[in-house]
Amino acid sequence: MEFSGFKYIVVGAGFWGLTLAERLATIRKEKVLILEAKNHPGGNCYSYLDRETNIEVHQYGSHIFHTNNDRVWNYINQFSGFNNYRHKVLTKYKNEVYSMPINLMTINQFYKKNLTPAEAKWLLQTEGSAAQIKVVQSFEDVIVSQIGYPLYEAFIKGYTVKQWDQDPKNLPAYIIKRLPVRYDYNLNYFDDRYQGIPGLGYGEIFNQMLKRPGIEIRYNVDYFDIRDQLPREAIIFYSGPIDKYFDYCYGELSWRSLTFKEETVPLNDFQGTSVMNFADMENPYTRCHEFRHYHPEIDFSNLTKTIIFYEKSKETKKGEVPYYPIGMKKDKEIYEKYKAKAQTLKNVYLGGRLGEYAYMDMHQVILKALDLFAQI
C-alpha cells in the first residue's frame, strides 16, 4: 500500500478523527489520509439504513446527539439537519416500568406516594442520611448518600453490576455523576439545549465529512500492520486505545465492551419506546433498543416489522475494540504513564474516547478535536 504524499494521517474514522480530517482538508486545504480498521466510518457511532423497513439501525447501540456548546452544534449542523427527538428512558424493575433518570415520577411510583418536589427532596435526604455514608468517595457512596439504599438497590445497583462487572463500592464516582436526580416531572434523559438525531442518519454526517476534497479513506486497514510503512515526517492523529499504541508497555487499561442480540420482530411497535433498561440482576441484558422510535418525524404507521437490539456488557479482551474506559484507581495510574509518554512524541496526537481513555460523549469528542485543530 502506498502512503507517500500524505502529510497528515488519521488513524480511526470516529468523530475525533473525522473532525480533524475535515478541518484540515476544508480550512487548511491539506491532503489527509484516514486509515480505518472497520469497513465503515463513524467508529461505534455508525448507523445504517435498513432498506426493507427504512429504519436507521445504530449498529453499536443507541447514540443520541446532545450538547450545550454552540460551536459544536453549528459545526455538526453543516453536515446534517437534526430531528426534534428528545431522549426518554424507561427502566423495568420487578415487572414494573419506571422513568429514568430518577425523577419525581420514579420516586412517587416507587414509594406509592404523591409527593411534591420539596417533599421528595426531603424524603431522599432522609434516606441518604439513614445510609450513614461517612466518606463520600466511590460510585456507591455518591449515589447512596444522595438517594438512599431503597432507590439505589432498585434502579442503580443491578444495572451497574451488569454493565461494569464491578462492585459499585470500587467503581469511580464520575460514572454515576453522568445521571442527574430530579425532583420534578422532567422525564428527559438529557438537559442540553441542543438535542436530536441526524435527519438522514449518522451515516450521512460521516459521508458529508468525508466528501471534503483532499480526504482519502482506506477501510479494513489495521494501523499496527502498516505503521512502519508510514512516511517518517507524517503527522499522525491516533484514536485507537492508548495502551495498544504503546504495546501495553505499562500494562493493560481496563475497558468494557458490548454485545447485541439483534431481532427483527413482526410487529409495528415492540416496546413503545427507544430504550428500555433492565434494572433486575436476573435479566442478563442491560437494555433493549428499538430504533424506529428515534425518528418521530417519519410515519411508521404501516410498518410490519421493527428492529430491536438487546444489549449485554462484556469484558474487553486484549486487542478487541473497547466501548467504555472503566477508570479504576489502577487504571488512572497506568493512564498517567501513557499520557506522559504520549506527550514526548513528536508529530503524534492521541485522542478520542480510546486515545484519551475518557468516557466522553460525541459532542465532547468533537469539541476536543476542534480545540486541537485550533491549537495546531
Catalytic machinery residues = 178, 182, 256, 287, 311, 359, 361
Nearest CB to ligand UDP, comparing residues 217 and 279: 279
Count of alpha carbons within 13 Å of 45, Cβ hemisphere only?
28
- Least Cβ distance, residue 322 to ligand UDP (angstroms): 13
Nearest CB to ligand UDP, comparing residues 165 and 225: 165
Contacting residues toward ligand UDP, per CB under 6 A: 91, 100, 155-156, 159-160, 163, 175-176, 178-179, 277, 279
Nearest CB to ligand UDP, comparing residues 155 and 270: 155
- Least Cβ distance, residue 168 to ligand UDP (angstroms): 7
Nearest CB to ligand UDP, comparing residues 21 and 72: 72
- Least Cβ distance, residue 284 to ligand UDP (angstroms): 15
Q: Element (H or E) spanning 55, and its range?
A: strand 55-58
- Least Cβ distance, residue 179 to ligand UDP (angstroms): 5
- Least Cβ distance, residue 68 to ligand UDP (angstroms): 16
Measuring CA to CA, which residue among 40, 49, 46, 44 is closest to residue 292?
A: 49
User: What three-state secondary structure class fits 297?
Assistant: coil
Measuring CA to CA, which residue among 12, 9, 8 is closest to residue 30?
A: 8
Count of alpha carbons within 13 Å of 295, Cβ hemisphere only?
20
- Least Cβ distance, residue 62 to ligand UDP (angstroms): 7
Biggest CA pair distance of the chain: 69
Nearest CB to ligand UDP, comparing residues 59 and 277: 277
Beta-carbon contacts of residue 24 (< 8 Å; ≥ 6 apart)? 8, 30, 32, 214, 373
Nearest CB to ligand UDP, comparing residues 77 and 257: 257
- Beta strands 255-265 and 324-325: pairing type? antiparallel
User: What three-state secondary structure class fits 353?
Assistant: helix
Position 350, amino acid: L
Cell, residue 214: 483532499
- Give the chain's count of helices (H) and strands (E): 13, 16
Distances (CA, A) of 111 to 123, 127, 129, 188, 297: 10, 12, 17, 21, 36
Cell, residue 128: 441518604
Cell, residue 156: 442503580
